């Protein structure tokens, strides 16, 4: 019998590629499971197999518990006093065991033993797969299509390893049949209890980047760098490349001779068209490059909202937007800017409307005439805060302004901001006091006396004829 155990361990270990220790543990669990059936209740049985000779022994185990504690499991627990009869040195929570007769190896319930052994081996195989692929996350993995289930594709990676490409991670309308070879981007390895544990993606932008790394030697040689990519899987993609050597043409290197490199990548991605975009440190220029094939007429950057107004010729508007907004959406994803595409006429009208609003703001709050306000707008000022806090040297560069006028404008701008802040604080205080049911008229009077007195000023409207005239 002992030789049979050692023979089983050797055969199963060689066939499954699992360590002998795992097989020994599986056999111990199987024999323990069969031995338990000789006793009533859920007893605790431990089997030890000698790894050298194949001899095995069985032990029944009990845990020592408090004297007054009621036994939750009489078959596996024993009061401390009774347990000390068997082992005087035992403490609460410790286990003691005594030898019992085990079943013979040839008389084990074959089916029960087989199930335990198979389960242990399967768990060991899964652990090996996890260990083998855990450090390969972020790589391209290739496999053969084993089966397709409701749009989910199971790949055979070899070595008893399977990978899953879920329906959401498959390229839409891509035709896949058993036996086809597919590549995927390994984005997750999880110890699932059933089914594949390796998860691949065919839609991730990282897949496109990895394919370019494989097809374009200049990237591996560090002459080119891929900055980012955006995809509409199966239809179109944009990838931003940055040259590290000025002698290298980034677009030509990625396209290859007669388009061979980019065509190989397109074929791998079910015919997906790929636009190669040159990266630029200037965000506006980068956006202009990303909007290809449309030509950008002008761009207005709004850093506060992280958006840009992109103007194109009217006849190129549909091309700039793309089918169902595809071109501008991919450009936006690639550059990480919100892009508002419009015709150059619409851009001019919008700019004029915004300029008119700012013009009226300056005339009202700075108490200047239209000509002075217009100079501020033309110089790029769009808010009272900019007039108040833009460096003095920058404002002095405006030809129509002298130092006295600049100081007066900055002073009035700061007064306007202070007035706004006081008004906001008054409103907040009024709301707070009304919630506390305090008299509002008394609070308003106190607020007026406290805050309005210091900033009460009289301004003479500044116009082009009296640029330096001022009265405060």
Two structure tokens written together for 249 = 């043409």
Q: Which two tokens stand for residue 323?
A: 């089918």
- Nearest alpha carbon to residue 102 among 29, 7, 11: 29
Cα–Cα nearest to 250, from 226, 282, 231, 284: 226
2-126 CATH: 3.30.1480.10
Which numeric CATH code is attached to 137-203?
Answer: 2.40.50.140
DSSP per position, 218-250: HHHTTSEEEEEEEEETTTEEEEEEEESSTTS-H
Structure tokens at 224: 């080119």
Strand, helix or coil for residue 69: coil
Do the beta carbons of residue 65 and residue 58 sit within 8 Å? no
Residue 449 has pLDDT above 80, yes or no: no
Backbone angles phi, psi at 234, to 5 degrees: 85, -10
Backbone dihedral angles phi then psi of residue 293, each to the nearest 5 degrees: -85, 5
List, by residue range, all CATH 2.40.50.140 domains of the chain. Answer: 137-203
pLDDT tens for 353-376 read 877 888 888 788 787 888 888 888
Q: Where in the chain is the domain with CATH 3.30.1480.10?
A: 2-126
366-466 adopts what CATH topology?
Answer: DNA polymerase; domain 1 (1.10.150)
What φ, ψ does residue 26 adopt, rounded to 5°?
Answer: -65, -40
What are φ and ψ of residue 39, in 5° steps? -120, 155
pLDDT per position as a tens digit, 170-206: 999 888 999 999 999 999 988 776 666 899 999 999 9
3-state secondary structure of 50: coil
How large is the average pLDDT for residues 103-121? 63
Token pair 């007429």 is found at 297
Enclosing H/E stretch for 185: strand 181-189
CATH dotted code for 280-345: 3.30.300.20
Tell me the range of 88-97, 325-334, 393-402 where mean pLDDT is highest: 325-334
pLDDT band at 453 (very low <50, low <70, confident <90, very high): very low
Q: What is the pLDDT of residues 123-159, one digit of tens each?
A: 777 887 888 888 899 999 999 999 998 889 999 998 7
pLDDT digits (tens, 9 = 90+) for 196-242: 689 999 999 999 999 999 999 999 898 999 999 999 999 999 999 99
pLDDT-derived band at 332, boundaries 50, 70, 90? very high
Q: Is 345 helix (H, G, I), strand (E, B) or coil?
A: helix
Quickly tell me which residue has 């209890």 as its tokens: 193
d(C-alpha 432, C-alpha 62), whole Å? 68
pLDDT for 444 equals 47
CA distance 199 to 190: 8
The residues of the chain that CATH labels 3.30.300.20 are 280-345
Least confident segment among 62-71, 328-337, 369-378: 62-71
CA 448 to chain centre: 51
**Boundaries of CATH 1.10.150.20 in the chain?**
366-466
The verdict on whether omega for the bond into residue 293 sits within 30 degrees of 0, i.e. cis, is yes
Confidence of residue 250 (pLDDT cuts 50, 70, 90): very high
């Amino acid at each position: 019998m002992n030789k049979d155990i050692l023979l089983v361990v050797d055969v199963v270990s060689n066939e499954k590629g699992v360590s002998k220790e795992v097989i020994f543990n599986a056999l111990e669990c199987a024999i323990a499971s069969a031995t338990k059936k000789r006793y009533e209740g859920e007893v605790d049985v431990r089997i030890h197999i000698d790894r050298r000779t194949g001899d095995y022994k069985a032990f029944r185990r009990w845990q020592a518990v408090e004297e007054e504690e009621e036994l939750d499991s009489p078959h596996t627990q024993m009061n401390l006093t009774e347990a000390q009869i068997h082992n005087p040195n035992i403490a609460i929570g410790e286990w003691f065991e005594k030898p019992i007769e085990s079943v013979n190896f040839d008389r084990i319930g074959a089916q029960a033993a087989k199930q335990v052994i198979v389960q242990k081996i399967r768990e060991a195989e899964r652990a090996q797969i996890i260990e083998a692929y855990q450090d390969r996350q972020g790589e391209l993995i290739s496999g053969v299509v084993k089966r397709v289930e409701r749009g989910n594709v199971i790949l055979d990676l070899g070595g008893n390893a399977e990978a899953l490409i879920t329906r959401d991670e498959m390229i839409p309308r891509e035709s896949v049949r058993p036996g086809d070879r597919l590549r995927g981007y390994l984005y997750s390895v999880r110890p699932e209890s059933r089914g594949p544990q390796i998860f691949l993606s065919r839609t991730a932008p990282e897949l496109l980047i990895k394919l370019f790394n494989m097809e374009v030697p200049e990237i591996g040689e560090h002459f080119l760098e891929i900055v980012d990519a955006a995809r509409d899987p199966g239809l179109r993609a944009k990838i931003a490349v940055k040259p590290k050597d000025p002698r290298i043409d980034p677009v030509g290197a990625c396209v290859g001779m007669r388009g061979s490199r980019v065509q190989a990548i397109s074929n791998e991605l079910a015919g997906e068209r790929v636009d190669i975009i040159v990266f630029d440190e200037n965000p506006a220029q980068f956006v202009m490059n990303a909007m290809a094939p449309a030509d950008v007429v002008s761009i207005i950057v709004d850093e506060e909202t992280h958006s840009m107004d992109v103007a194109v010729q009217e006849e190129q508007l549909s091309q700039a937007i793309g089918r169902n907004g595809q071109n501008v959406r991919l450009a936006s994803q690639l550059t990480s800017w919100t892009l508002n595409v419009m015709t150059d006429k619409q851009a001019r009208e919008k700019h004029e409307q915004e300029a008119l609003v700012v013009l009226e703001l300056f005339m009202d709050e700075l108490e200047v005439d239209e000509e002075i306000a217009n100079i501020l707008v033309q110089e790029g000022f769009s808010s009272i805060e900019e007039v108040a806090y833009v460096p003095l040297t920058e404002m002095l560069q405006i030809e129509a302004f002298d130092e006295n006028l600049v100081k007066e404008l900055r002073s009035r701008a700061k007064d306007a901001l202070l007035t706004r802040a006081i008004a906001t604080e008054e409103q907040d205080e009024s709301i707070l006091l009304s919630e506390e049911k305090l008299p509002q008229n008394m609070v308003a009077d106190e607020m007026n006396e406290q805050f309005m007195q210091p900033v009460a000023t009289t301004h003479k409207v500044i116009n082009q004829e009296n640029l330096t005239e001022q009265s405060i």
